[in-house]
Structure formats: C-alpha cells, structure tokens
C-alpha cells in the first residue's frame, strides 16, 4: 500500500512559476537572481500558509542551480537541485526559532556560518518563526546579520513582524506576503482535482476557499478532509455538512420573510437553524455579511467585491433587486446592534428573535412612515381639479412658515387658499395678472414633490391666479383672526406645554413650572430665567416651538414672549460663599453651647 502524502506537501511549489498568489514577490526575487543583486538578509512576513517558507526554499535552490533557465527558474536536473529535492542538500540550513531561541543557539549558528559551502556558491540559512527569538538572542545575532561572510544569505520568516526589533528590520530586505485570493485558491484546487481524477462542484471549492481565509495550506488540508468524507466526489452540500457551515439558502429565505413582513416564518427559520446546532451569534454575524453582499450587488461597480460562486452570485443579484437601499441600511443597523448586545444579554435567543422581529417590521414602518402624504396629495389634486377658472380667476396659495422643531410635534396646517373677489378693486395694485404662457399645467403632483414643496415655503400658482409677493404677505396676515387672549386658557396651555418638557428637558421644565404667565396689552408674555445658560437654551430649543403652539391654540399671531434673567439669581451671584469655619462661627453666635460641645468631644471638620 502506497503511503499517503497530504496535498500541502505533495503539491508544494518547487519553482517560482508554480507559487500561487504572490506574483509581485516572485518576480522581484527572479530579477534579483538574474541581475546578480542578491542581498545578504531577507525578511518574509505575512499570514500563515501563504508561501513564505516555500519561496525561501525555492530561492535557496535557485541561486545554487548550475543550469539556471533564462527566466531565472531552477533546472531540477543538476546535482544541487536533485539534492535539494531529496532533502539532502548541505547548502540549505533551516532553523526553527520557536525551539531554538536562546543566545546559545544563535552562537552555534554564528560558528556554523563561517564554514563555506561544499557544493554551490551560497549557504542559505532559513530561520522560521524568527519573532520567537529572545531579546538577548536578537542582540547576539545583530553583528552577524549585518556583516555575514560573502557566501552566507539569511532568510527570516515570520507571521508577526511587529514583534521583531527595529535593529533587525533595518538590516533586511522586507517582503510582505498577501493573503491568497479566493479565485486563486479555487483555481489551484481545481488543478489538483484534475490531476487526482476527483469530480467536484466549483461552489464547494468556494466554500473551502472562504473557510481557509487566504491560506493555501489551510485550503489544502480542508480539501484532503473533504475528499476522504465525500469518497472522491466533492459537492457543495457535503462541504457545508462536513465543515458545519450554514447554507446560503437560509439567509435568502429569511431575507424574503423580512421583505414580506412575515414574523412567524422568520422565527421558524431561526429555530431550524438553532436545531441544526448553529450558534445564534454566528448566525447574526453571517446575516450582517449577507446584507453587506446584497448591498454590493446594488451597484454594478461593487459587484466584484462579492466573493462567492456564479450561481450564488446570481441569487444575490436577484435579491438585491427586491431590496431597497434604505431597507438594507436599516437591516445592517439592527444586526450590528444585536451583535454588540448579544454577549451582555441573559436571554440570547430572545435577543436575536427581537432583532428578527424588528427586521420584519422595517418594510411596514416605511409604508406607514408618513400616513398624511396620501391625504396631502388628494387635497392638492382636489384643489386643482375642482377650481372653476371662470368664477375664481384670482386666487393664491399661502403656506404657513413652520419651524423645523415645530413640525416634529405639531403637523403642518392644511394649505390655505385665499380667494380674491373681483369686487375688491382697492387691493388690485398688490397683485398682477398671469399671462397665457404662465397658465398652470394640471398634472398630478407626486407625494415626494408635495413634501418637498412643504419644506420650502413658496407661492404656488393656480390657473389665472394673482400672486402676492413677500412684501405684501402682512396684508394677508392681517386678515387672519387675532382673538383676545383668555388668561385662564393661557395658564392652562402653559401648563400643558410645560408638562411635555418633563422628560425631554427637565431643567427647562422646572424653570417654566414656576412661572405664572401674564400677558400685557401688547400681547407680550414676560418670563424670568435663572441664568444665562438657561436663557440660551430657552431661546434656541423651547421658545420657537412654544410660541408657535400658543399662537395656534389661542388664535392670535401677535403673541410674543419676552424673557429676562431673574433679579434674584443676579443677587445670588454677588453673595459670599461661606466656609465650614464661617458656618460654625455663625451657629456659635446663635447658640454658644455648640462651642462647648465641640471642645468636649474634640470635634473637627471633615
């Protein structure tokens, strides 16, 4: 029975051209060999399984090859190459720094460096996991690394470059190895499968490549495991079963449930996932990745960021057409919040289920976010279609100016239409006739345009209407009712509005609660504020909304609010602050027995 050799060793590259995913590094090393620009020390750093030690061995083999090819590749036929291929070369010395990290080990290496090679031109010393050397060993190695014999070349390899002291880094040419791309790993696995006569599905190799996380050695180890499990027939389903990976179909199905607002289906799918042995935290993390992949499929320029097979990519593109960007953004926020709070939650399953319910409600919230939009559109269209241009030739629409914060608490008032009769000749100088070219085009306004117009107060045209300029707006305001203010109603409204500030702004609530509003003949309400900070908060955060509220409820647009800093608060700022000794002195003046008490018990201040 032939001994089995794992794929990571059997198919380990032995030439530069066979190295996968490191084209820039291999081309640099080949050019250095061709031009005879060899450094005395190299540092190969990067993640595990990306080819650091492999490239070091190929480099050592190539510089000692006697029949080097034109493209700086070893011949694999000379004595030097054969000795290297059979692991009996005396020109290549490998040292594991993880187990030989002391000063004595480095001293032995320094003594060995002095011996010239028996065959070939160079003695190459490959020190793997060099970051494991102790501080003393590094210092002992410095001089030899900087000025080695002409025949000695050092190649240091590490996965943790940051642990190497700067004096070592400065003496080396540094090569940073990249993680191997998913498509490169898939291509190499397909190449090996063809050599081994193994049937496969490309989607299965995509899963293996993603699980390997850019390491070819890890991918080949997983590949050998799957080959044994699947009996030389690698399928997508067998890979996800063996590696305990959640199928993409679960994420597509649960996203469809979110889009339909089907809470029961979403919770049932999540229960099935838990029954299959998957962790809820991993599920919510992978769900975030799923929404990220859906988002990158929304734009043709970002589709290339999707690291999946073609059939899975087609499903992502189909689902991206169903999902709006707002839905995806909201879903990512919910998943991120669930991820951060998962470990702190005592009932973790319920924590994830609440997140799923929120995701099911996203579409419903969007539909019900502005219930007044449809009614607003109906009002606009009704105004346009029912007006008779024969009887109402002169009309205008005036929209109320509403502060931004007022619109959050109180909905905007309906659009008022002021109709001017032809019997008012004294006001004809304030308006102008619309020309035939400016006639209104009777088209149905969309909800979006209607809302945009509400945010920008402007005069809207109506067929054959007269337009009132901004300078004449006061005349229209004069026509609105300015009723006499009932002080009892003013006090009640003041209390109602103050209560609304109890949770939102407790400091302003306590300040306004103590006020007893009175209105003078000029329709001005005077209030007292405790200090400048509260005065600034009142002017910027409370006054505009309160003033609009009182004007609307009292039906008087002439109401104003005048705020001043309280005289009592000004007096407090001038008062002296007493120390503990001053307080005791005052108390002793009123009750001398306190001094005897202090002396008897030997009391002192804290």
* pTM > 0.75: no
- pLDDT at residue 393 greater than cutoff 70: no
In a domain, 584, yes or no: no
Domain boundary among the residues 479, 513, 548 is at 479
Residues 44 and 134 in one domain: yes
Q: What percent of the chain has pLDDT over 90?
A: 33
Please count the helices (runs of H) and the strands (runs of E) in the chain.
28, 11
Of the two residues 73 and 373, the one the predictor is more confident about is 73
Residues 208 and 346 in one domain: no
The residue behind tokens 């027995």 is 593
In a domain, 601, yes or no: no
- pLDDT at residue 364 greater than cutoff 60: yes
Residues 394 and 500 in one domain: no
Per-residue pLDDT tens over the stretch 438-471: 433 333 344 445 444 544 444 444 444 444 444 4
Q: How many domains does the chain have?
A: 5
- pLDDT at residue 259 greater than cutoff 50: yes
Per-residue pLDDT tens over the stretch 61-78: 899 888 888 888 888 888
Domain boundary among the residues 347, 367, 387 is at 367
Residues 88 and 139 in one domain: yes
Residues 262 and 288 in one domain: yes
- pLDDT at residue 38 greater than cutoff 70: yes
Three-class secondary structure of residue 115 per DSSP: coil
| Burial class for 50, CB neighbours closer than 10 Å (0-12, 13-18, 19+) | buried
Burial letters for 204-235: b for 16+ Cβ neighbours within 10 Å, e otherwise?
Answer: bbbbbbbebebbbbbbbbbbbebbeebeeebe
Residues 35 and 105 in one domain: yes
Of the two residues 141 and 500, the one the predictor is more confident about is 141
In a domain, 62, yes or no: yes
Domain boundary among the residues 479, 513, 535 is at 479
Residues 517 and 384 in one domain: no
Is the distance from CB of 290 to CB of 359 less than 8 angstroms?
no
Residues 146 and 215 in one domain: no
- pLDDT at residue 472 greater than cutoff 80: no
- pLDDT at residue 575 greater than cutoff 80: no
Residue 352 maps to which CATH number? 1.20.272.10
In a domain, 603, yes or no: no
- pLDDT at residue 363 greater than cutoff 60: yes
Q: What is the mean pLDDT of residues 422-426?
A: 43
pLDDT at residue number 287: 94
In a domain, 356, yes or no: yes
Per-residue pLDDT tens over the stretch 225-251: 999 888 888 888 888 888 888 888 999
Q: What is the mean pLDDT of residues 335-353?
A: 93
Residues 25 and 127 in one domain: yes
Of the two residues 257 and 419, the one the predictor is more confident about is 257
pLDDT at residue number 537: 77
Q: What is the mean pLDDT of residues 579-589?
A: 80
Domain that holds residue 288: 248-367
In a domain, 589, yes or no: no
Is the distance from CB of 467 to CB of 461 less than 8 angstroms?
yes
Residue 516 maps to which CATH number? 3.30.300.180
pLDDT at residue number 431: 38
pLDDT at residue number 153: 93
- For 84-146, the DSSP string reads HHTT--SSEEEEETTT--SHHHHHHHHHHHTSPPSSSS-EEEEEETGGGS-HHHHHHHHHHHH
Residues 48 and 158 in one domain: yes
| Closest alpha carbon to 484 in 382, 419, 555, 431 | 555
Q: How confident is the model at residue 28 (pLDDT cuts 50, 70, 90)?
A: very high
pLDDT at residue number 254: 94
Q: How confident is the model at residue 370 (pLDDT cuts 50, 70, 90)?
A: low
Average of per-residue pLDDT values in the chain: 78
Residues 153 and 55 in one domain: yes
Residue 187 maps to which CATH number? 1.10.8.60
Token pair recorded at residue 416: 């008022």
pLDDT at residue number 128: 92
Q: How confident is the model at residue 424 (pLDDT cuts 50, 70, 90)?
A: very low
In a domain, 586, yes or no: no
pLDDT at residue number 567: 63
Per-residue pLDDT tens over the stretch 163-207: 999 999 999 999 999 999 888 999 999 999 999 889 988 888 988
pLDDT at residue number 72: 84
Angstrom CA distances, 562 to 24, 216, 390, 523, 526, stand at 74, 75, 48, 10, 5
Residues 315 and 195 in one domain: no
In a domain, 53, yes or no: yes
């Amino acid at each position: 029975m032939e001994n089995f050799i794992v794929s990571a060793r059997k198919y380990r590259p032995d030439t530069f051209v066979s190295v996968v995913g490191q084209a820039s590094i291999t081309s640099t090393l080949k050019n250095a060999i061709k031009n005879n620009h060899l450094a005395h020390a190299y540092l190969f750093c990067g993640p595990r399984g990306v080819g650091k030690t492999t490239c070091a061995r190929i480099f050592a083999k190539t510089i000692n090859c006697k029949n080097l090819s034109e493209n700086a590749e070893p011949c694999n036929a000379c004595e030097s190459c054969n000795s290297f291929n059979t692991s009996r070369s005396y020109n290549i010395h490998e040292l594991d720094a993880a187990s030989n990290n002391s000063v004595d080990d480095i001293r032995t290496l320094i003594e060995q460096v002095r011996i010239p090679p028996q065959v070939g031109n160079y003695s190459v010393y490959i020190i793997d996991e060099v970051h494991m050397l102790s501080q003393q060993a590094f210092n002992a190695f410095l001089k030899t690394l900087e000025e080695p014999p002409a025949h000695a070349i050092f190649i240091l390899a590490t996965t943790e470059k940051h642990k190497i002291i700067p004096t070592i880094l400065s003496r080396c040419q540094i090569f940073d190895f990249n993680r191997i791309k998913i498509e490169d790993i898939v291509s190499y696995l397909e190449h090996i499968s063809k050599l081994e006569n193994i049937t496969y599905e490309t989607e299965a190799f995509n899963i293996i490549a993603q699980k390997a996380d850019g390491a070819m050695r890890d991918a080949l180890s997983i590949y050998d495991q799957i080959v044994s499990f699947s009996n030389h027939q690698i399928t997508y389903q067998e890979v996800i079963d063996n590696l305990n990976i959640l199928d993409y179909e679960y994420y597509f199905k649960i996203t469809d449930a979110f889009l339909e607002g089907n809470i029961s289906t979403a919770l049932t799918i999540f229960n099935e996932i838990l029954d299959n042995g998957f962790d809820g935290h991993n599920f919510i993390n992978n769900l975030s990745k799923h929404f990220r992949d859906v988002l990158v499929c929304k734009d043709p320029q970002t589709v290339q960021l999707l690291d999946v097979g073609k059939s899975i990519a087609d499903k992502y593109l189909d689902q991206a057409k169903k999902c709006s960007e707002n839905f995806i953004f909201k879903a990512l926020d919910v998943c991120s919040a669930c991820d951060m709070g998962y470990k702190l939650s005592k009932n973790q399953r319920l924590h994830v289920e609440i997140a799923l319910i929120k995701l099911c409600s996203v579409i419903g919230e969007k539909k019900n976010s502005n219930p007044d939009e449809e009614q607003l559109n109906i009002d606009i269209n009704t105004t346009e279609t029912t007006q008779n241009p024969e009887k109402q030739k002169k009309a205008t629409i005036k929209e109320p100016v509403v502060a931004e914060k007022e619109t959050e608490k109180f909905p905007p008032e309906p659009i008022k239409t002021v109709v001017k009769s032809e019997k008012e000749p004294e006001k004809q100088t304030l308006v102008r006739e619309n020309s035939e070219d400016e006639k209104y085009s009777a088209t149905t306004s969309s909800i979006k345009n209607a809302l945009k117009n509400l945010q920008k107060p402007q005069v809207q045209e109506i067929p054959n209407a007269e337009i009132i300029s901004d300078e004449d707006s006061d005349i229209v305001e004069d026509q609105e009712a300015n009723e006499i203010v009932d002080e009892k109603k003013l006090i009640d409204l003041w209390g109602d509005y103050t209560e609304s500030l109890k949770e939102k702004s407790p400091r302003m609530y306590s300040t306004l609660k103590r006020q007893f509003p009175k209105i003078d003949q000029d329709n001005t309400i005077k209030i007292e504020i405790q200090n400048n900070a509260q005065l600034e908060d009142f002017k910027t955060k409370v006054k505009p909304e309160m003033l609009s509220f009182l004007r609307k409820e009292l039906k008087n647009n002439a109401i104003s609010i005048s705020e001043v800093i309280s005289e009592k608060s000004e007096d407090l700022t001038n008062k002296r602050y007493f120390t503990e000794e001053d307080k005791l002195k005052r108390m002793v003046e009123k009750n001398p027995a306190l001094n005897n008490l202090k002396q008897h018990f030997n009391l002192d201040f804290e």
